Structure 1
């Protein structure tokens, strides 16, 4: 337990990591390093392919590059510190760095949910209004939609995180987590009433920015499915739906990981399970997104083969 007799502001937070896995720090380091490298390589390949290949200069893939950039930033917020914790036992994090990490983690989480809404709107316009699609989804509109998603999402967590930083903490506060998650830091504060209020406020905002975008995505796909069913040709229906499958799988993965974290939070489970559920949420979607789009999207798959394989292994020229 934290020594909450001090009224001074906290100077440091101490991250416990996985309490039951203290004897497996090196294996944890290797596993998370591998995950981080896969996330970086996969998302960088997606960005490079979309930028280089002219056939991918479409709104759908512009938003995909935004998602890849987001996934790189999102994992870079937490994993490097976790790697240092596992490798050299660097479990101390300063007060200001902790809240900066908290802001980046939650701000980028909200950004991803908003980008998924923008991507579903793009698919809605492409399938439900195909004749007006080139006029509506211009380059200027695409930039405006993605900019709004980033800016609004990054503004939303500021009030709650600022209020959390004003709570009273011990001079050296123990946080039962691998990184500075809002709930874990609030539970480490000294005031029970203020902590409960911040927990409720943070949880309410988290549910709003999760359920609201999910409803918009669901509404978009209801209209999309209705439009696809009206297509007479079976080939046409299959082709129309195939453009949505990658995005649907990404949405399913994202909200499934949120559901796991929520169930873990509500259930009376060991600390390691709570921590692991949040870590899975922080890693799973960025890890799977490039794989999903590479395997499920024919245009991306062909572009990866053309750009990556042919650039690295160009065909031999006859002398």
Structure 2
């Protein structure tokens, strides 16, 4: 019998951009600008949707919650990336990695459900306008937001425990910029078929079903819009919905490719790019897509900013 020398990981090294030693300062500056832009852009949306009376509607209530979620989402990963780029240590403890992964998963699931809720809001507003105020009352909106934040917690606690119950033997070097499931599975030894099956089941529950519901809602929305007699009404309805569809497409496409493609078919660079896309790029574009394409929001911003100055 051949003896195998196995060492079990107690901490991980996040290799990330370590293969770009000459670009560390440049990358730090880029990610710092991105993080500050996310904080200011989404923070501005939260403030304006809270204080402007004309924006006290379900659509902007969900948008304010979505912007808060984007700030939380990026705050789980970007400060860590900035610290690693600045200190060059790149070490994260076993518990720290598990905690980071759990919050990435729960905030990602919350984003899926909040996007679904926003699609449902648009569906009711366009397809059932006479019942809109009755269906989307304040109590219903609050419960939809609470449900979006909490519905996945029990299952994702179990999934996180399942992932970190694996034996990470041999190398403890994660070829990534933060703790995520695909790079962690690459370090696991032994049979991981049960964990992979759980990931596919959870991805179906928390990503594919919401995605199908969203695009199903928009199929009905588009069918209703095409029946509108006024060309101006059709244009306004399409314009309002297109912003949400852009955010949905950016998030779901990159997240589904990252989690559902076989890990053997993805390079480390591809995994990093896809992960950064759905955790960072979407929050950056969120304020631009929703504010600069929204006439009501621009008018509210023009009213508020001079008062602040």
Band of TM-score, shorter chain: over 0.9
* Corresponding residue of 1:5: 6
TM-score w.r.t. structure 2 length?
0.92
TM-score w.r.t. structure 1 length?
0.89
Q: Could you say what secondary structure the match of 1:20 adopts?
A: coil
Q: Mapping of 1:144-293 within 5 angstroms?
A: 144-170=143-169, 173-189=172-188, 191-194=189-192, 196-258=193-255, 261=258, 268-293=265-290
Q: Is the 8 A contact 1:294 1:300 kept in 2?
A: yes
Structure 2: which 5+ residue stretches go unaligned?
none
Q: Is the 8 A contact 2:254 2:277 kept in 1?
A: yes
Aligned-residue Cα RMSD (Å) equals 2.1
Q: Is the 8 A contact 2:11 2:91 kept in 1?
A: yes
Q: Is the 8 A contact 2:167 2:190 kept in 1?
A: no
* Corresponding residue of 1:302: 299
Q: Is the 8 A contact 1:264 1:273 kept in 2?
A: no
| Cα drift, residue 257 of structure 1 | 2.4
* Corresponding residue of 1:67: 66
Q: Is the 8 A contact 2:182 2:263 kept in 1?
A: no
Q: Is the 8 A contact 2:49 2:60 kept in 1?
A: yes
Once the two structures are overlaid, the 10-residue window that deviates more, 242-251 or 143-152, is 242-251
| Cα drift, residue 74 of structure 1 | 0.3
| Cα drift, residue 215 of structure 1 | 0.6
| Cα drift, residue 270 of structure 1 | 3.8
* Corresponding residue of 1:109: 108
Q: Could you say what secondary structure the match of 2:228 adopts?
A: coil
Number of residue pairs matched by the alignment: 306
Rounded to whole Å, the distance in 2 between the matches of 1:214 and 1:78 is 24
Rounded to whole Å, the distance in 2 between the matches of 1:265 and 1:29 is 31
Distance 1:113 1:22, change over 3 A: same
Structure 1: which 5+ residue stretches go unaligned?
314-319
Q: Is the 8 A contact 2:6 2:170 kept in 1?
A: no
Q: Give per-residue Cα distances to partners, 1:178-233, cap 9 Å, x unaligned.
A: 111012122212x2313x43234224422442211111001111111121122111
Q: Give per-residue Cα distances to partners, 1:273-305, cap 9 Å, x unaligned.
A: 322221222111111011101111111111122
Once the two structures are overlaid, the 10-residue window that deviates more, 63-72 or 20-29, is 20-29
* Corresponding residue of 1:311: 307
* Corresponding residue of 1:317: none
| Cα drift, residue 37 of structure 1 | 0.6
| Cα drift, residue 36 of structure 1 | 0.5
Rounded to whole Å, the distance in 2 between the matches of 1:4 and 1:146 is 50
